[in-house]
Structure 1
Amino acid sequence: MDVCCDLEVDVNGEGVFMVNKELFCSYSGRFRKLFGKSGSTGKNLKVIFHDFPGGAETFELIARFCYNNGSIEISPTNLTALYSAASFMEMNKSVFESENLVKQIEKSLEEISYWTWSELLLALKKNQAFIVSVNSSVVLQKCLDTLVGRLILAAEASPCPSISSPESFGFRISCDSRSTESLKTSCFRVSWWFEDLSSLSQSVIEMALRSMISWKFDHGTISRFLFHYQKSKFVHAQSGEKSKIMGMVIDVLHSLDHWSIPYKSLLGILRVSINLNIHKSTRSKLEAMIGSRLDEATLDNLLIPSSAGVSCLYDVNLVLRCLKFFLSRGLSQVSNDRLMKLARLVDLYLAEIAPDPSLKASKFTALATALPDSSRESYDEMYHAMDMYLEVHTDLSEEETFQICSALNYEKLSPEACLHLTKNQKFPSRSAVQALLSHQGKLTGLEHASKYPSSCSSSPCYYPNYGTIGLKGESSDRNMLSAGEFDVMTDNEKLRTHLQGMQCRVTELEKVCHKMQTQMAKMMKSKSTGNINARSLPKLCS
Structure 2
Amino acid sequence: MSSSVRHGSSRGQAWFCTTGLPSDVVFEVHDMTFHLHKFPLMSKSLKIHRMLSEQEDQRPTRGRRQRRRQVRSSDGDDDGAAETEIEEEEAEPEQQQVRTEGEGDGQPYCIAFPDFPGGPGTFEAAAKFCYGVRVDLTPWNVAPLRCAAEYLEMTEDHAEDNLAARAEAYLDQAVLRHPGDATKALKSCEELLPLAEDLGIVSRCVEAIAARSSSASRSWFDDLAVLGLRMYKRVMAAMAARGDVRAEARESCLVSYARGTIPGLSRSMRRRLASAPVSSEVEQKELLEAVVASLPADKCSGRVVTAKFLFALLRTAHILRASDAARAALERKAATQLQQAALEDVLIPSYSGTAETLYDVDCVQRIVRYFLAEEELGGEASSSAAIEEEEAVAVARPSAVVMVQVGKLVDNYLAEVASDANLKPAKFCDLALSLPDHARIYDDGVYRAVDIYLKAHPRLTAEERDRVVGVVDCRKLTVEACTHAAQNERLPLRAVLQVLFFEQLQLRRAIAGTLLAPSAGAAPREAAAWRGATALAQDSQVLRLDMDSMASRVQDLERECSSMRRAIKKIDGRGGSGSGSRSPGGRSADGSRPAAGGWRARHGCKFSTQVCDSHARNVVASRASRMGMSP
Global fold match (TM > 0.5): yes
1:237-261 residue CA offsets vs partner (Å, 9 max, x unmatched) = 2212111111111221254642252
Q: Tell me the equivalent position of 1:495.
A: 550
1:150 match? 208
- Distance, in Å, in 2 between the alignment partners of 1:405 and 1:388 is 11
Q: Is residue 2:373 matched to residue 1:302?
A: no
Q: Pick from 468, 480, 483: which aligns with 2:538?
A: 483
Residue type of the alignment partner of 1:236: V
TM-superposed deviation, 1:143: 7.1
How far did 1:376 drift?
Answer: 1.0
Quick one: distance in 1 between partners of 2:359 and 2:480?
31
Structure-2 change in CA distance of 1:376 and 1:128 (3 Å) = farther
Asked if the contact 1:436/1:502 (under 8 Å) is kept, the reply is: no
Residue 421 of structure 2 corresponds to 357
Alignment-mate amino acid for residue 509 of structure 2:
G
What is the number of residues matched between the two proteins? 373
What is the CA–CA distance in structure 2 between the aligned matches of 1:305 and 1:123, rounded to whole Å?
A: 39
Q: Is 1:316 the counterpart of 2:389 in the alignment?
A: no
Name the CA shift for 1:121/1:353 in 2 (closer, same or farther; >3 Å).
closer
8 Å Cα contact 1:239/1:276 also seen in 2: yes
Higher deviation after alignment, 501-510 or 352-361 = 501-510
Task: Say if 2:467 and 2:629, in contact at 8 Å, map to a contact too.
Answer: no
2:242 maps to amino acid: W
Measured on the aligned residues, the alpha-carbon RMSD in Å equals 4.3
Tell me the residue number matched to 1:445: 509
- Would the alpha carbon gap of residues 220 and 510 (structure 1) be closer, same or farther in structure 2, given more than 3 Å must change? farther
- Does structure 2 retain, via aligned residues, the 8 Å contact 1:430–1:540? no
The alignment status of 1:411 with 2:475, answered yes or no, reads yes
Q: Structure 1, unaligned stretches of length 5 or more?
A: 1-17, 21-55, 59-74, 79-111, 158-163, 165-185, 459-472, 518-538
Which of 261, 264, 268 is the aligned partner of 2:312? 268
SS state at 1:250 partner: helix
Q: Retained in 1: the 8 A contact 2:444–2:477?
A: yes
Amino acid at match of 2:360: D
CA offset at residue 411 of structure 1? 1.3
Are 1:291 and 2:335 counterparts? yes
Q: 1:357 is paired with a residue of what secondary structure?
A: coil
- The CA distance in 2 between the partners of 1:448 and 1:223, in whole Å, is 56
Query: Is it true that 1:202 corresponds to 2:229 in the alignment?
Result: yes
Determine which of 253, 259, 266 is the counterpart of 2:301. Answer: 259
Measured after TM superposition, the shift of residue 125 of structure 1 is 3.0
Residue number in structure 2 paired with 1:187 = 218
Relative to its length, the structure with more helix (as a share) is 1
Q: Aligned-pair distance for 1:129?
A: 6.7
Q: Which residue in 1 is equivalent to 2:79?
A: none
Q: 1:21-100 counterparts in 2 under 5 A?
A: none
CA separation in 2, counterparts of 1:455 and 1:381? 37
Aligned partner of 1:380 in structure 2 is 444
Residues 130, 239 of structure 1: CA spacing in aligned structure 2 closer, same or farther, 3 A cutoff? Answer: farther
Number of the residue aligned with 1:121: 186
1:264 is displaced (CA, Å) by 2.9
Alignment match, 1:366: 430
Quote the Cα distance in structure 2 between the aligned partners of 1:515 and 1:275: 50
- 1:100-179 matches, cutoff 5 A: 117=176, 121=186, 125=190, 146-155=204-213, 164=216
- Kept after mapping to 2: 8 A contact 1:113/1:146: no
TM-score (norm: length of structure 2) = 0.51
Whole-Å Cα distance in 1 between the matches of residues 188 and 255 of structure 2? 25
Aligned position for 1:218: 246
Q: For the structure 1 residues 484 and 457, does the alpha-carbon distance in structure 2 shift closer, same or farther, using more than 3 Å as the test? A: farther
Tell me what 1:45 maps to.
Answer: none
- Post-superposition Cα deviations, 1:385-409, rounded to whole Å, max 9, x if no partner, equal 2112112211112332232222222
2:498 to 417, 434, 444: 434
Separation of aligned partners in 1, 2:464 and 2:366: 22
Which of 411, 415, 423 aligns to 1:347? It is 411
Q: Secondary structure at the match of 2:258?
A: helix
**Distance between the aligned counterparts of 2:366 and 2:425, measured in 1?**
17
CA distances 1:421-454 after superposition (whole Å, capped 9, x unpaired): 3443322334234324323421321332354342
CA distance in 1, matches of 2:225, 2:480: 60
Superposed CA offset, 1:166-193 (max 9, x none): xxxxxxxxxxxxxxxxxxxx433xx26x
Aligned residue identity for 1:297 = A
Contact 1:343 1:376 in 2 (8 A): yes
Q: In structure 1, the residue corresponding to 2:295 is in which secondary structure?
A: helix
Kindly indicate whether the alpha-carbon contact (under 8 Å) linking 1:320 and 1:367 is maintained by their aligned counterparts in 2: yes
**TM-score, normalization: structure 1?**
0.58
Alpha-carbon contact 1:449-1:456 (below 8 Å) kept: no
> How far apart, CA to CA, are the structure 1 residues paired with 2:550 and 2:252?
60
Separation of aligned partners in 1, 2:500 and 2:488: 12
CA distance in structure 2 between the partners assigned to 1:203 and 1:402 by the alignment: 57
For residue 396 of structure 1, what is the aligned residue in structure 2? 460
Q: Determine the C-alpha separation between the residues in 1 that align with 2:432 and 2:478.
A: 18
Separation in structure 2 between the aligned mates of residue 122 and residue 514 of structure 1, nearest angstrom: 78
Query: How many angstroms does 1:202 deviate by?
Result: 1.2
Deviations 1:210-243 (A, max 9, x none): 2211213233222332333334334622212111
Instruction: Choose which of 262, 275, 283 in structure 2 pairs with 1:241.
Output: 283
- 1 CA distance for matches of 2:558 and 2:376? 41
| Structure-2 change in CA distance of 1:356 and 1:212 (3 Å) | same
Sequence identity of aligned pairs in percent?
Answer: 23
Instruction: Tell me if the contact between 1:144 and 1:211 (Cα under 8 Å) persists in the aligned partners.
Output: no
Q: Cα distance 1:187–1:485, how it changes in 2: closer, same or farther (>3 A)?
A: same
Which has the larger Rg?
2
**Matching residue of 1:525:** none
